Structure 1
Amino acid sequence: MNITANLFVKEIEPCLEFWVTRLGFEKVTEVPEGKGLGFVILKKGNAELMLQSFASVAKDVEPIAADTYRSALYITVDDLKPIRKALKGVPLVVPERRTFYGADEIIVRDPAGNVISFAHHTGS
């Protein structure tokens, strides 16, 4: 089994700087929609993420297009150092922290407003 998140966004293009340029995801699929992009698939290693514009959702699965979405992704990483460097200048949702369950976390919002948590589990 594999689960892939599909984040619905107003516009895909502003999100690409966050996911591709900063975090190193590769755009492997792109579907135009009007003057912009309607859908993309991004990959990095075994991680896969889909971004779909609200306009594309309206044409694809109309019954869910009128809903408002905000999602939260929890991404476990081997090392926070490259994430910290990639996200330099991106506002944090909360200060970088260590949780009671032993995870060091960096939590930000992507350009579409989704909460993205990057976690390194220290085991302590």
Structure 2
Amino acid sequence: MPNIENLKKQAKTYLRWHREQYFPVAAQIRWILPRYRDQSDRAIMDADFRLSDTQELAARKHGFANWPALVEGIETMTKSTVLDSRRPLMLSAEPQLFVSDINASSQFYVRKLGFEIAFLYGEPPFYAQVFRGGARLNLRKVGAPVFDTGFRAREVDALSATLTVDDPKQLFLEYRAADASFHQPLRNEPWGARTFIVQDPDGNLIAFSGTAP
């Protein structure tokens, strides 16, 4: 069930991203708000976007026509604890990474990247999930090398997952202190994001992205 306080923060974050010209938010605006459906990224980012617009964005993402309807719907669900029959919602994404050693990979994400282990499955383990904040990664053991010998030469920057963070610089400094292996250091991207990429022991590239200052 959506939490109204979290949704308020989400709406304010969307507004801040728009004001800071964080271009990835344009795709979400175009997809969710019909009046922007045929506009370019540039036109969307130049539009007069207000908190009421981002509240509508948050509401529509959760299947409601507008912010008042979302608030009323959450209050109703809280009282009845019964979900209505609106369109099913996608609540989260959990990228699956192929790894050669579940225990070693789990410890890498815990010790180097500050994740926690949600579960280990199998005897011996062949599947696991790690999490940090709202980000979850599923780890699946495979019996062969994760990437063939020529893959990285052909696809140098092919990502396995991208995680959105609120402070990429602080997280980068944390990972540097933990001696994590960086595929790409912290940098500002032309589209307004600030990113860095970590490489795990099996060669999976995990991007961390937030807004540039």
- Shorter-chain TM range is 0.7 to 0.9
Structure 1 runs (4+) deviating above 3 angstroms are 65-71
Q: Percent identity?
A: 29
After superposition, the Cα gap between the structure-2 partners of 1:67 and 1:8, relative to the gap in structure 1 and judged at 3 Å, is closer
Q: Equivalent residue for 1:73?
A: 161
- Where does 1:1-124 land on structure 2 (aligned, <5 Å)? 1=90, 2-34=92-124, 37-55=125-143, 71-80=159-168, 81-88=170-177, 89-122=179-212
Structure 1 residues 95 and 86: CA distance shift in structure 2, 3 A: closer
SS in 1 for 2:98: strand
Asked which structure has the greater CA Rg, the reply is 2
Structure 1 residue 18: Cα displacement: 2.6
Q: Which whole-Å deviations, capped at 9, do the CAs of 1:91-118 have from their partners, x for residues lacking one?
A: 3223321100111111121111111111
**What count of residue pairs does the alignment treat as equivalent?**
112
What TM-score do the two structures reach when normalised by structure 1?
0.74
Asked whether the equivalents of residues 23 and 83 of structure 1 are also in contact (C-alpha less than 8 Å), the reply is no
Q: Which is helix-richer, 1 or 2?
A: 2
What is the CA RMSD across the aligned residues, in angstroms?
2.6
| Distance apart, 1:68 and its partner CA | 5.1
TM-score, L = length of structure 2: 0.46
Structure with greater contact order relative to length (CA < 8 Å, sep ≥ 6): 1
Note the residue ranges of structure 2 that are not aligned, 5 or more in a row.
1-89, 149-157
